[in-house]
Amino acid sequence: MAIDLSGRVAIVTGAGGGLGRAHALLLVRRGARVVVNDLGGARDGRGGTPAMAAAVAEEIRAAGGEALADGASVTDEAEVAAMVERALGRWGRIDILVNNAGILRDRTFAKLDLADFRAVLEVHLMGSVICTKAVWETMRAQGHGRILLTTSSSGLWGNFGQSHYGAAKMGLVGLMKTLAEEGARHGIRVNCLAPSAATRMTADIMAEDELAALDPAHVAPAMLALVADEAPTGTILCAGAGSVEAAHVVLTRGVHIGGGDDAADRVLAALDRIVDRAGDFVPQTGIEQPRYELRRRAETLAPRGRAAHG
């Protein structure tokens, strides 16, 4: 099935290079008109120039596509609102939002300044919230929308020196899961992508031979699948080096502990059984955890009740 985005309008943040550029170029090749957003700052988020977004937009236009360059900071509500209005004024709709903008300020938690912690959360998490909020009502009114949030293996599984980055990236998973629920009735599908790619963000983090195989173009197909008309919702895909996987937050079968003064002691004593992955499952919504726990309680207590009446 060929993904056809003819007539669709997309906004890609952080599209002045790396992953964002690869995303924008692929969206255009499949027929979309694209707002190329990039503040043009350094890897740590400082500074800014419109040149990066302008260069990618010009590249798209030179190849026969339609693009607008935009230098809005994703953390500035007024600038993001103006970007959205520009897109609506030019093309009349917004169908796709790819939240890709991000910064790095890696340090161990012991050495990390809280101002840097806040800055990383502000760009990755709040930047995605601000951009998503800016297009949400438009997508609701259209009855169609596709939103992609960029998570990371550092958020899903942790990474040394990236407490702030990991916190932001896992926060995006929680945001995505809730928005997928709330958007479903309005035709809005929301997903996460955890990329592995050679960009200026990863230039000095991985070995040269590894980076050589991690072309951002190998990640973009997973992005495209997650914003297509036929896209799933509430899904986390991981992609890199031509491979695509799915990530899940699972719940083990666990153990019914009950109450009492020694309940915590029994939790520790049963920890191996509690964390045992055999029979684990993926809850589809947050309410499934307490419902499952109530079922376990009922199953545990039921034999005693039957025995008492026997």
Q: Which of 196, 200, 164, 149 lies closest to 41 in space, CA to CA?
A: 200
| Of 223, 248, 221, nearest in space to 236 by CA | 248
List all residues 6 or more positions away from 229 whose beta carbon is below 8 Å from its beta carbon: 3, 4, 146
- The partner residues of 37 in beta bridges, in order of sequence, read 70
- The Cα 276–Cα 71 span in angstroms is 49
| Segment 3-8 long-range contacts (CB within 8 Å, at least 24 positions apart) | 3/30, 3/224, 3/225, 3/228, 3/229, 3/230, 4/30, 4/31, 4/229, 5/30, 5/31, 5/32, 5/95, 5/96, 5/228, 6/31, 6/32, 7/31, 8/32, 8/33, 8/95, 8/96
Say whether 76 sits in a helix, a strand or coil.
coil
Q: What angle do CA 174, 214, 100 make, to 5 degrees?
A: 35
Asked if 102 contacts 124 with a C-beta cutoff of 8 angstroms, the reply is yes
Considering the candidates 165, 171, 194, 255, report the single residue annotated as catalytic: 165
Is 292 designated active site? no
Single-letter code of the amino acid located at 23: H
Say if CB 155 and CB 125 are below 8 A apart. no
Least Cα distance to 150 among 64, 28, 236, 233 occurs for 236
Residues 44, 104 contacting (CB under 8 angstroms): yes
Query: Which residues are marked as active site?
Result: 165
